[in-house]
Amino acid sequence: MELLLLLLFFADIILRILNFAVFARVILSWFPHMQLHSNRIYLFLFDITEPLFRLVQVLPHRIGMIDISALYVFVLLQIMITLVAFMSL
């Protein structure tokens, strides 16, 4: 039982870090000069969040010129965080 709680704790931490990384990627996307391929921070954020974004690209992700794929990723992460928290009760 303690091992399960420990795994759920680590899963919660990883999901929250991913949530922050998605948020940081969205904020950095507003600054095109920060997206240079030589920017290590942006490349790191891109590498760890791109699998999540690829997962939601199959959904309709544009409303006019606005890309809402980050919103889908946030919702997906929040559902996963809630499930992990529910399982750890």
Q: What is the pLDDT of residues 54-74, one digit of tens each?
A: 999 999 989 998 999 999 999
Cα separation of 4 and 30, whole Å? 40
Task: Kindly report the pTM of this predicted structure.
Answer: 0.88
Nearest residue to 23 (alpha-carbon basis) of 55, 45, 47: 45
pLDDT at 36 over 70: no
How confident is the model at residue 82, as a pLDDT? 97
Q: What is the pLDDT of residues 4-31, one digit of tens each?
A: 999 999 999 999 999 999 999 999 888 8
β-bridge partners, 67:
62
Check if the beta carbon of residue 49 is closer than 8 Å to that of residue 22. yes
Q: Which residues contact 26 (CB under 8 A, 6 or more apart)?
A: 70
